[in-house]
Amino acid sequence: MGAKGFFTDTTICIGCKACEVACKQWNQLPDDGFALTGMSYDNTAALGASTWRHVAFIERPVALSNQMADGFSWLFSSDVCKHCARAGCLESCPTGAIVRTEFESVFVQQDICNGCGYCVVNCPFGVIDRREDDGRAWKCTLCYDRLKDDMTPACAKACPTESIQFGDLDELRVRARGRVEMLHEQGMQEAYLYGDSAAAQPGTEGLNAFFLLVDKPEVYNLPPNPVVPTKNVGQSWLSMAFAALGVAAVALGSVAASRHGGAR
Amino acid sequence: MKTDGRDIDPSLGMLLGEGSGQQVKRDDERMEAVLPLPWDKTPTVSETDPTYYDRPLLKEPVWKIDIPIYYFLGGAAGAALALGAAVQLAGDGELQEFGKRCHWVGIVGSSIGGALLVHDLGRPMRFLNMLRVFRPTSPMNVGAWILSGAAPLAITAGLFSNRQGLLGHVGSAAGYGAGLFGLGLAGYTGVLVGNTSIPLYQETRRLMPVLFLASATASAASILDILFEDRRSSKITFIFGTAGRLAELGCGFAVENVAGRVPQVAKPLHSGVSGALWRTATALTAASLVISLIPGHSRSRRKWAGVLGALGSLALRFAVHYAGTASARDPRASFRQQRAKMIA
Ligand code: SF4
């Protein structure tokens, strides 16, 4: 099988939202209401339990080297679950409902999830969410059902510019690095890869869905240096152990002290 | 197969998938929950300090008030069970009754707490799925095991520990076990919040377990003081409670300081509902400490100290809960925290 993933090249995204629609359609996800947000053409707002692709529109008075408009830039980026190499959602899931598949993607087994909501606060990207009505956690499955049948995930299939590329991760990484070099040669020095390897993003040990960006991650609502919480949980257990020893000592001490007059 | 004249299989158009048939919340509600601004007031993406239109980076906790109440009850139960085991260990006949009370506080706290936990699940009927794996990387899984050990042990201890013969031995063994599991029960919730992406919790992940254990100690002593009265045991709860309240105050102060390394991260402790609760908690605990320290024996004063102390601990748990939500809503808290680490 091998590791599969997405390479999202934001420089060729045209903001058509075909990926959003294809995802909703294939996965039979409900709409999340029709409200205007005032955030450029983005009325989807965020990823969530029923939105597994979200195209961000960044419209602002900042000049970027590839955009002609004087002192103005417009960026599009199709966001998705990153299928982290070390996934906060998976490692924190108390039921084992979230698993790593044979494609190295992160998958929520809906027949097991009991809706504890712990993955929601463990994802450093704010991806996974619990559905109000059915009580379980939902997120992108990397179209697990399609992969099983050797098909490309719906979003990548629908993307008309190949901004979303799906394939073997090793191959995608090579292609992505080539693309960055190409952009640099063309004078677009801002281009860089986000989360393409463990070295680039040690906190998650790399993302199976990585991005080519041309501005700070914050602009796209991506964290600059995400760390999977479970990486540091040992520190918490250690301090709990010391504190628990303290409580035990106080308990024994208070019982012992009560024997000899002591306090009151 | 029935067709409508076109060469289409109508069953292909039916929504039968796992994800279908869902109803999402109404749009305006959803929008308002995230960003209570009319669309023409949407912030621009700034050049120097960008966020995505001030949208949250993270998802906020979906937990309802069951959870802070559980923190409080589970904590008090755990610390009471630890105290009960210490009493057992002392083997003092005079304290038998007090040890039993500790066990009962443990039983009531862990059972109500457990019920609250189940109630907060999206799928309560699937609670037992928590126990289908043992996953040390997940504090919630470890906690589920701790709770399912602590509650039955506490019940066994409460029923049998003062009996004669074999049952008595089983009961007292259960009492020691409950003491150990109780320490876990009072502390793991601190590890659980520390192990999240929420910037405030993440920054204070080493302190949260200590704060939770301190608060548990204080609340166990407070509850025992409110419910029961006799001279010998009040000496025990006095020492236990004073240590707990002092540790609770000190630890709260340390949490503010550590979170304050990145001022944006500490903000929920100073402003909003969570800030108000946090200050209330400090004031109540301090008041309870002062009252309990006035020399001379007075039954009513001890009860008042207990009431204030318990309310202080409860307010603290709610403060931690709401501060987490506020912190998750603030993208700048995460961004600045992570940038600070990148420079360091
Ligand atoms: S992005 Fe979030 S939901 Fe997706 S794998 Fe990583 S931690 Fe899990």
3-state secondary structure (DSSP) of residue A86: coil
Do residues B177 and B257 both lie within one domain? no
Q: How far is the CA of A117 from the centre of ligand 1 (A)?
A: 13
Tokens standing for A139? 């997120």
Q: What residue in A sits closest to B194 (Cα-Cα)?
A: A236
Give me the residue from B25, B41, B196 closest to A122, CB to CB.
Answer: B196
Closest CA in chain B for residue A109: B18
The CA distance from B127 to B147, in Å, is: 12
A213 CB near ligand 1 (under 6 Å): no
Contact A117 B42 (CB under 8 A): no
pLDDT over 60 (residue A255): yes
CA-to-CA separations, B126 to A114, B113, B132, B337, in angstroms, rounded: 5, 17, 11, 36
Of A94, A110, A215, the CB nearest to B135: A94
Q: What is the pLDDT along chain B (344 residues), one digit of tens a residue?
A: 555 666 777 676 677 777 776 666 645 555 555 555 666 677 777 778 899 998 999 999 999 999 999 999 999 999 999 999 999 999 888 898 999 999 999 999 999 999 999 999 999 999 999 999 999 999 999 999 999 999 999 999 999 988 888 999 999 999 999 999 999 999 999 999 999 999 999 999 999 999 999 999 999 999 999 998 888 889 999 999 999 999 999 999 999 999 999 999 999 999 999 999 999 999 999 999 999 999 887 889 999 999 999 999 999 999 999 999 999 999 999 999 999 988 76
Q: How far is B37 from chain A (nearest CA, A)?
A: 9
Backbone dihedral region of B251: left (phi > 0), alpha (psi from -120 to 50 degrees) or beta?
alpha
Interchain proximity A252–B89, CB inside 8 Å: yes
A84 CB within 6 A, ligand 1: yes
For A100, list phi and psi in degrees, rounded to 5: -95, 125
Residues B306 and B180 in one domain: no
Within this chain, do residues B126 and B69 fall inside the same structural domain, yes or no? yes
Count of other CB atoms within 10 angstroms of residue A242? 13
**CATH code, domain carrying B259:** 1.20.120
Q: Are residues B211 and B329 in the same domain?
A: yes
d(CA B26, CA A28): 18
Look at residues B162, B195, B228 and tell me which one is the last residue of a structural domain: B195
**The tokens of B17 are what?**
């998938």
- Closest C-alpha to B261, from B311, B304, B206: B206
Integer Cα distance of B55 and B42 in angstroms: 10
* B262 within 8 A of B340, measured Cβ to Cβ: yes
Q: Are residues B323 and B216 in the same domain?
A: yes
Instruction: Indicate the helix (H) or strand (E) that contains A98.
Output: strand A98-100
Instruction: State how far the Cα of A116 lies from the Cα of A94, in Å rounded to an integer.
Output: 8
Residue ranges of domains in chain A: 4-227, 232-264
In 3D space, the residue among B218, B229, B200, B224 whose CA is nearest the CA of residue B300 turns out to be: B229
CATH topology of domain A4-227: Alpha-Beta Plaits (3.30.70)
CA distance B283 to chain A (A): 23
Q: Does ligand 1 have an atom closer than 6 angstroms to the CB of A49?
A: no
Model confidence over A16-70: pLDDT tens digits? Answer: 999 999 999 999 888 877 777 788 899 888 999 989 999 999 988 888 877 777 7
Q: What is the ipTM of this complex?
A: 0.94
Residue of A112, A120, A263 with shortest CB distance to B59: A120
Q: How far is CA A124 from CA A48, A227, A229, in A?
A: 14, 7, 8
CA of A105 to the centre of ligand 1 (A): 10
Q: In what order do the strands lie in the sheet with A164-168?
A: A164-168, A4-9, A209-213, A192-194
Distance, CA of A135 to CA of B119 (rounded, Å) = 12
Q: Please tell me the distance between residue A233's alpha carbon and the centre of ligand 1 in angstroms.
A: 17
How many CA within 13 A on the CB side of residue B93? 0
Residues 6+ apart with CB under 8 A from A69: none
Supply the CATH number for residue B150's domain: 1.20.1630.10
DSSP string, B268-330: GGTSHHHHHHHHHHHHHHHHHHHHHHSSS--HHHHHHHHHHHHHHHHHHHHHHHHHHHHHHH-
> In angstroms, rounded to a whole number, what is the distance separating the alpha carbons of residues A78 and A85?
20
> Based on the structure, what is the number of domains in chain B?
2
Residue A262 binned pLDDT confidence (cut-offs 50, 70, 90):
very low
Question: In the prediction, which pLDDT does A258 show?
Answer: 86
- Residue B238's nearest CA partner among B296, B285, B293, B168 is B293
- Of chain B, the end-to-end C-alpha distance in Å amounts to 68
- Structure-token pair, residue A134: 């059915």
Which of B175, B195, B215 is the last residue in one of the domains?
B195
**Which residues of B are less than 8 Å from A253 in CB distance?**
239
Q: What is the dihedral of CA B149, A109, B136, B181, to 10 degrees?
A: -10
Q: Could you tell me if B266 and B293 lie in one domain?
A: yes
User: In this predicted structure, what is the pLDDT of residue B38?
Assistant: 66
The parent domain of residue B132 ranges over 61-195
Cα–Cα dist B163/A262, whole Å: 30
Q: Which two tokens stand for residue B254?
A: 């340390």
B171 with B203, same domain?
Answer: no
**Which of B195, B212, B230 marks a domain boundary?**
B195
User: How do strand A53-60 and strand A106-108 relate by DSSP bridges?
Assistant: unpaired
Q: Is residue B260 included in any domain, yes or no? A: yes
Please identify, by atom number, the ligand 1 atom nearest to the C-alpha of residue A207.
Answer: 6
B168 and B89 fall within a common domain: yes
In chain A, what residues touch B35 (CB-CB under 8 Å)? 37, 45
CB contact under 8 A, A258 and B138: no
The answer to whether B323 and B283 have CB atoms below 8 angstroms apart is no
Specify if B37 maps to a domain: no
Task: State residue A264's pLDDT score.
Answer: 42
Q: How far is ligand 1, taken at its centre, from the CA of residue B82, in Å?
A: 38
Half-sphere exposure of B122 (CA within 13 A, CB side): 23
- B129 and B202 together in one domain: no
Classify strands A4-9 and A209-213 as parallel, antiparallel or unpaired. parallel
Closest partner residue to B22 (CB to CB) among A134, A221, A251 is A134
Q: Tell me, rounded to whole angstroms, the distance of Cα A147 from its chain centroid.
A: 20
Q: Residue B6: what pLDDT?
A: 67
In sequence order, what are the beta bridge partners of A212?
Answer: A9, A193
CA distance A39 to B321: 30
Mean pLDDT of A147-160: 96
**pTM assigned to the model:** 0.93
- How would you label B245-280 residue by residue, b for 16+ Cβ within 10 Å and e otherwise? bebbbebbeebbebbeebebbbbbbbeeebbebbeb
pLDDT tens for each residue of A123-142? 999 999 998 888 999 999 99
In a shared domain, residues B273 and B158: no
Closest to B248 in 3D by CA, of B301, B202, B186: B186
Answer positive or negative: Cα dihedral of B241, B243, B246, B251.
negative
Mutate to test the pocket of ligand 1, among A80, A84, A221 (most ligand atoms within 8 A of CB): A84
The residue in chain B having the minimum alpha-carbon distance to the alpha carbon of residue A60 is B45
Three-state DSSP class for residue A4: strand
Same domain assignment for residues B202 and B337:
yes
Tell me the nearest-neighbour CA distance from B165 into chain A, angstroms: 25
With H, G, I as helix, E, B as strand and everything else as coil, classify residue A73: strand
Is B266 within a domain? yes
Cα B31 to Cα B9: distance, rounded to the nearest angstrom? 38
In whole angstroms, what is the distance from residue A213 CA to residue A56 CA?
12
Closest residue in B to A236 (Cα–Cα): B206
Q: Are B243 and B292 in contact (CB under 8 A)?
A: no
